[in-house]
A and B are shown apart, each in its own frame.
Chain A
């Protein structure tokens, strides 16, 4: 039975629950906007990386660099799209 529950995945799951609980700090504590956003950015991106590495096995074959390259490139384009639009529409630059 225990061979069905590998340690790595259980640790990954516990860690993802801890990150979710940490993100909840912004709801229960009275943080400033900047502090709250910092907490959320860190917990969300660490959590995404955790899923990618532990659960999606992104790095286990020879294709690893093509896979990571593809994902990071798309994340970069995604962030440019989001923050570029915010710059134009909300931050008046």
Chain B
């Protein structure tokens, strides 16, 4: 395998570079996936039937906490990639672990939010609005859940094999995924929650 030492480790092999570019193409498809969910949500937002509307069920405090936690985790995994690039494996693993703990906290809050909605009579079947809302939030939450398992596997592999062109490449790609989930959340926070409470 040809290794180019002028590039960061994750870009050092031709395969690694292609993997990263390929993942960007995948993220392009993910943009479209979430765009269709946002489309459904915006179209059905006012079809609340006999159920509640957004202003009645959204609460600012947990939503703000979720936003802050996810923003912070996105920042921390960025620090993890920086630590990886200066070859500090221990710091990198610590930052990745903090990222996943924050991800878990986010998920806990989101599950609590769903339970609250259901207690308030807003279930998946209540109205077109609640169905679109829960599908959109749920798809994002499912991505975060998948990311937790993926991230744990990455940490285990780095621990076992150290920082090689392959593990660095996988870690970098995971960081792209995690940042992307944060970007999606920014749009959920702005155009579902804040717009709904405006």
Contacts and interface: CB of A to CB of B under 8 A. Distances in A.
Interface of A: 3-6, 9, 12-13, 16-17, 20, 23-24, 26-27, 31, 33, 36-37, 40, 43-44, 47-48, 51-52, 54-58, 61, 63, 66-67, 70-71, 73-75, 77-79, 81-82, 85-86, 89-90
Interface in B69-87: 71-72, 74-75, 78-79, 81-83, 86
Contact of A82 (B38, B86, B179, B198): B38
B128 to A, nearest CB: 12
- Residue of A3, A48, A56 with highest tally of chain B CB at under 10 A: A56
Interface of B: 7, 11, 17, 20-21, 24-25, 27-29, 31-32, 34-36, 38-39, 42-43, 60, 64, 67-68, 71-72, 74-75, 78-79, 81-83, 86, 88, 91, 175-176, 179-180, 182-183, 186-187, 189-191, 194-195, 197-198
Contacts of B180: 56
Given A23-B189, A43-B190, A55 B74 contact: yes
Given A27-B198, A51-B186, A74-B31, 13 more contacts: A3-B86, A20-B71, A51-B74, A56-B176, A61-B7, A63-B21, A67-B21, A70-B28, A71-B27, A77-B35, A79-B35, A86-B39, A90-B43
Nearest to A68: B24
Contacts of A61: 7, 11, 17, 20
Given A9-B75, A61-B11, A70-B28, A4 B20 contact: no
A37 to B, nearest CB: 7
Contacts of B28: 70-71, 73-74
B198 A48 contact: no
Contacts of B186: 44, 47-48, 51
A82 B35 CA distance: 7
A4 B82 contact: yes
A90 B38 CA distance: 14
Contacts of A43: 190
A23 B194 contact: yes
